[in-house]
Every structure is written in C-alpha cells, then in structure tokens.
Amino acid sequence: MFQIGDNIVYPMHGAGIIEAIEEKEFSDEKQQYYVINMSISHMKVMIPTRKISGSRIRPVTDILALNNVMDIFQHGESVQIPTWKERHTINTNKIKTGSIQDGAEVVRDLMRMKKEKALNASEKK
C-alpha cells in the first residue's frame, strides 16, 4: 500500500515519512514492517504491513481535500458542547478517525472557543 519515502499522517501522532520496510522475526514468525519516522516527535514507529489498513494511517492529502478543509474552517457550523469532558471525548474520537475533515472540525471548534475563553490543558494538547 505504501512505499519508502511516502509522506503519511498517523492519527494521534501526526505526520511522518516511511523510511523503510523491514522484515523482523517475533515469536518465531517473520513479518514485514513499515518503519515510520514521525516528524514532530522524532519517534520511530513500526507497524506490520498486513495491519496497516486497520491503523487508519493515510497519505498526506491532496489539494481538493485541502479546499474542503478551508471551507470547513470558514463556513462550518460549530456545535456547542457544555462540558470540557464531553468535548474532549468527542474531539479525541474525531482525531482517532484519521479523517482530515474530522480533524479540521476539531481545530475549527477549538479556535473559535479560544476566542471566547481560555482552553484548558487537555484542549490545548
């Protein structure tokens, strides 16, 4: 599915680059792994190639999706959720989907909320 050098987005971890595809033996079973260098944290992540589709890793998006994101920022409706705990749960679940649209909604809503009042530590993160 992915090749060495591909730029990817790993939900909850951010953007990264596939540096290698390596074969490792674990519990007497050989498997191929994608070796991903995460750009922000400089963390290396290894994911079995056969489990990549369930990981929600996706390629970096194209210009059409970015235009959609800009539309979400400018025209999308924010839903007001009263407690920070409920917002945190909803936002975390949206981010975990790996969808750029869901992530854009989270950022949009938090940016709008920050204009009205300070965000708590979990919302900043």
Higher-confidence residue of 103 and 124: namely 103
Whole-number Å distance between alpha carbons of 16 and 45: 9
Vertex 95, ends 81 and 66: CA angle to 5°? 105
Torsion angle (degrees, nearest 10) of CA 101, 104, 108, 114? 140
CATH number where 40 lies: 2.40.10.170
82 secondary structure, DSSP code: S
The pLDDT tens digits of the residues spanning 3-24 come to 999 999 888 788 899 999 999 9
Amino acid at residue number 74: Q
Q: How many domains does the chain have?
A: 2
Average pLDDT for residues 47-59, to the nearest whole number? 87
2 lies in some domain: no
Looking at the structure, do residues 15 and 36 belong to the same domain, yes or no? yes
**Whether residue 13 is found in the same domain as residue 34:** yes
- State the pLDDT at residue 14: 85
Q: What is the mean pLDDT of residues 80-106?
A: 86
Specify whether 70 is located in the same domain as 90.
yes
pLDDT for the residue numbered 111: 87
